[in-house]
Amino acid sequence: MINLASDNVVGASRPVLETLLKANDGAAMPYGTDSWTADATAMLAKVFEHEVHNFMVATGTGANALALAALTPPWGAVFCHAESHVMDDECGAPEMFTDGAKIVGVPGVNGKMTPAAVEAQLERFAKGVVKSVQPAALSISQVTEAGTVYTLDEIRALVAVAKKHGLKTHLDGARFTNAMLALGCTAAEMTWKIGIDVVTFGASKNGCLACEAIIFFDAALAENFQYRRKRGGHTLSKGRLLGAQMVGYLENDHWIANAKHANAMAQTLASGLRTIPGARLPWPVDANEVFVVVPQSAKKALDEAHIRAAPWSSNCVPDGFTIGADEAFLRFVTSFATQPSEIEAVIATLSGRRAAAE
């Protein structure tokens, strides 16, 4: 079976696992006061070229919801893409952790918000008007839900709108490293250097088992965050589990290597898909996600070959891109563990070569 439905279907990568094993021995202080966590924080400060206030948790949903809670009062509004993870895929966690803030979807093609679209939504919620929730934060998914990556200029423009209206900014970096490599920039350049206030630095999808860092660059925003994390039940007692994963993830540029591989596999897959008759890619392939529309027959061939992709739907495909009743919309996600042979098998199956061969 080949499973490319998501990058969360694989386990941890070897160096992460080995660091975890190494960290397992002996006594360590609990609740994130251990040396592994301290080391992870120090390494993140190097990665971001900035002092960081680092809070690690085991889930991306927890990380995003907690991060947003630090940026908005309960009567605030958080703006994000209409199909973003915090809007559609977290079962209301942002509403829960913010104690009821309004999560406002901003429509936009290719998974991206534009400054004008954000402005249009901001107009609905007037500052100082008591009947209206108060604009508080902008959350940007990088990589987006469409697998695309905002350019630094695109983020700069969004942040400019946010700052103009007094909003704090959050970067949902569940696939942070894939985006960073796609842009060829540094972690600093993609975050605080262009005005991002808090980052969800995802590691689970790119080599860890369960580790996401919520990273603040400003001590004031991080004040009291430890209480938020604890009352959310997101402070692990054996904190070394998180610290060690992050250390193993960052050491020797392992995180970079993992994401580089995943991105390359996605390009190989995309190139192959473009050769398949009837296959159409709605969006650019910027990182490690490949979305494609194929004939239902091709989908059937995948099923029969036990190749798994995720069925998809979206309202942010380009104008005019429609999906026929005899077509299937699929998402493939590559990871550090994806093998070239798996990509080949996908392409062979879709092109009809493989079934014939077998």
Q: Which residues in the 59-98 window bind its own copies by CB under 8 A?
A: 59-63, 65-66, 73-75, 88-93, 95-98
Secondary structure in 3-state letters for the chain? CEECCCCCCCCCCHHHHHHHHHHHCCCCCCCCCCHHHHHHHHHHHHHHCCCCEEEEECCHHHHHHHHHHCCCCCCEEEEEECCCHHHHCCCCHHHHHCCCCEEEEECCHHHCCCHHHHHHHHCCCCCCCCCCCEEEEEEEECCCCCCCCCCHHHHHHHHHHHHHCCCEEEEEECCHHHHHHHHCCCCCCCCHHHCCCEEEEECHHHCCCCCEEEEECCHHHHCCHHHHHHHCCCCCCCCHHHHHHHHHHHHHHHHHHHHHHHHHHHHHHHHHHHCCCCCECCCCCCCCEEEEEEEHHHHHHHHHCCEECEECCCCCCCCCCCCCCCEEEEEEECCCCCCHHHHHHHHHHHHCHHHHHC
Q: Residue 211 or residue 270: which is nearer to its own copies going by CB? A: 211
Tell me the C-alpha distance between 138 and 169, whole Å.
Answer: 5
The nearest distance, CB 25 to its own copies, in angstroms, is 6
Please, what is the minimum distance in Å from the beta carbon of residue 268 to its own copies?
Answer: 19
Query: CB of residue 70 vs its own copies: minimum separation in angstroms?
Result: 11
Nearer to its own copies, 2 or 279 (CB): 2
Structure tokens at 52: 């960081």
Q: Does 24 bind its own copies (CB under 8 A)?
A: yes
Query: Which residue carries 């493939």 as its tokens?
Result: 332
Q: Quick check: 210 binds its own copies (CB under 8 A)?
A: yes
Interactions with its own copies, residue window 230-249 (CB under 8 A): 230-238, 240-241
**Is 277 or 340 the residue whose CB approaches its own copies more closely?**
340
Interaction between residue 9 and its own copies (CB under 8 A): yes
For the window 280-319, what string marks contact with its own copies as x by the rule CB under 8 A?
Answer: ---------------------------------x------
Least distance from its own copies to the Cβ atom of residue 109, Å: 17
Contact by Cβ (8 Å): 173, 200: yes
Shortest reach from residue 324's CB to its own copies, in Å: 18
224 forms part of the interface with its own copies (CB under 8 A): yes
What character string, x for contact with its own copies (CB under 8 A) and - otherwise, covers 99-128? xxxxx-------------------xxx---
User: First vs last Cα of the chain: how many Å apart?
Assistant: 15
Nearer to its own copies among residue 14 and residue 300 (C-beta):
14
Question: Which residue lies nearer to its own copies by CB, 47 or 208?
Answer: 208
Residues 142-181 that bind its own copies (CB under 8 A): none
- Judged by CB under 8 A, the residue of 19, 23, 173, 214 near its own copies is 23
| Shortest Å, Cβ 75 to its own copies | 4
Q: Given the rule CB under 8 A, which of 38-46, 131-139, 254-262, 285-293 is the region that contacts its own copies?
A: 131-139
Please give the residues from 188 up to 207 whose contact with its own copies meets the rule CB under 8 A: 204-205
Number of residues located near its own copies, criterion CB under 8 A: 75
Question: What's the CA gap between 30 and 325, in Å, rounded?
Answer: 55
From 42-50, 56-64, 182-190, 296-304, give the range in contact with its own copies by CB under 8 A.
56-64
